A = this chain, B = another copy of it.
Amino acid sequence: MTPINDTKNQIIDLAESLLLQRGYNGFSYTHISSALNVKNAAIHYHFPTKTELGVAIIQRARQQFEKWTLHPRMGSMGFAKKLDAFCGIFRDFLKFEGHVCLGSALEHDFNTLPEKMQEEAKAFIADFLIWLEKLLKEGREAGSFSFSGTPKEQAVFVLAALQGASLMVRATDTIYLDMAIRRIKQSLKK
């Protein structure tokens, strides 16, 4: 059994939080090491380069999302409840003051990310889009959702609104995410 709170995971936790708060170019090894009361070199022992640390953040997030989609409780949920739960992921990202969702952060920094991180970032977004598209497609077929256009188009729309709202909160007010979520649900009502 792998311990969940070992140093390596603590580093990823902190790095992810800093990434969501300050962007990839806005945090450093020193931010992490001082928060953990160790020296920079200790971080480099676990993650030789910042690229490897960045990749680890995204890969862990992808695994967590996959686990989330496969969780037993998902099986008993209706389509609307599943959408609710999906929106909840974004509320969770914003639980911490000043955070945005991971997708927004990665997309924003995309042009300055090392290539390995760009690949993982693309895969991360694709994971979300594929799951959403499937939900919307099956939900419409089952009569739970109503929208015109393709499920793919609608999935892009919903994810864009969630990511955009998670960003807007920064320069406005936290309640704006919930306002956007209400409109998303409304736009899918029969």
A interface, CB within 8 angstroms of B: 21-23, 25-26, 98, 100, 103-112, 118, 121-122, 124-126, 129, 147-149, 152-154, 156-157, 159-165, 167-168, 170-172, 176, 179-180, 182-184, 186-187
Contacts and interface: CB of A to CB of B under 8 A. Distances in A.
Contacts of A108: 23, 100, 104-105, 108, 167, 170
A124 B163 CA distance: 19
Given A21-B111, A153-B182, A153-B183, A164 B160 contact: yes
A123 to B, nearest CB: 9
Q: Is the interface of A mostly helix, strand, loop or mixed?
A: helix
A156 B129 contact: no
